[in-house]
Structure 1
């Protein structure tokens, strides 16, 4: 399956991240990332690790998760090793897309991978002609809130979300305008098929990324 390649440059290092859309045929890679994410940061997700273990850990369930109609699921890889994930979902009303399931491996945090994943979903949402990108994040998750703020998110005007793992949540939104999305980013498509088929990738050089870590 084609991949989108991004070169992330920092002051003293350079890494090349491959970003690709995940279809139901990628369920094993997605499963590995998701279980790592739930074990690493249980406070960040509404789902619990035990929800996806035992009887909940079935191939057909993982395939169904990657086949949600109208969704976009993205995997980031470094040297062919999956290191990050994110999803976009249809929102609660027309013109709204939700961002969720964002996680980046500790091994590559602070390298701009989180920014790249957020921007990928934002670009996909613009292609769907969405006007708002919505997300929910733990209010005290300072690194995540900083990541979203530097990518254009602000606190939503309506009330915060429910508590997750006993922690209060805040809702954040980003207004989407085609002019704000980098035109050099290759087109993305929905991933509800067995294997997604994005447009032919082009090499994109982005430097530098904003400071901070995911």
Structure 2
């Protein structure tokens, strides 16, 4: 069974663990790179700050083991779904569905008109997940970088 928990800055250790695992396991899926969050960047104050400045942060667990994460950030007036990652052991078990639904529910409770997100064009499993949850392609993302195209997806609420 998939459980979710809304994180606070006091949960920085579990967020750190999940974020570092995500950047290690799926480096091409994110705008950040592992090196940005290691060394001098790997300090409690920075992890707490990340959980403070991004409005909504959630982790999922399966049988008591951290299994994924996602965040919802304000991109006024919309909510942007960011930092979605599911641990390999938990894929295909509904974790991604639960995390996406959690952000959509939160955005709706905040009266956001839409949830938006950017996804790398070659991330087929993520694109399938987002389409399953009613997201539609809305053109190239502003986050696209040369050699790494991204598409903006939108879901109206």
> Is the TM value for this pair above 0.5?
yes
Where does structure 1 differ by over 4 angstroms across 4 or more consecutive aligned residues?
none
CA contact (8 A) 1:46 1:165 kept: no
Q: Rg larger in 1 or in 2? A: 1
Match of 2:115 in 1: 133
* Structure 1 residue 80 displacement after superposition: 1.7
Aligned length: 157
Q: Pick from 103, 118, 137: which aligns with 1:121?
A: 103
Q: Does 1:73 align with 2:57?
A: yes
Higher share of residues assigned helix: 2
Determine which structure has the larger strand proportion and give its number: 2
Give unpaired runs (5+ residues) of structure 1: 1-15, 177-214
Flag structure 2 segments of 5+ consecutive residues without an equivalent.
none
- Within 5 Å, give how 1:13-92 maps onto structure 2: 16-68=1-53, 71-91=55-75
Aligned residues: CA RMSD: 1.3
Residue 147 of structure 1 aligns to a residue whose secondary structure is helix
Distance, in Å, in 1 between the alignment partners of 2:53 and 2:6 is 13
Relative contact order: is structure 1 or structure 2 higher (C-alpha 8 Å, sep ≥ 6)?
1
Query: What do the CA deviations read for 1:184-209 (whole angstroms, capped 9, x no partner)?
Result: xxxxxxxxxxxxxxxxxxxxxxxxxx
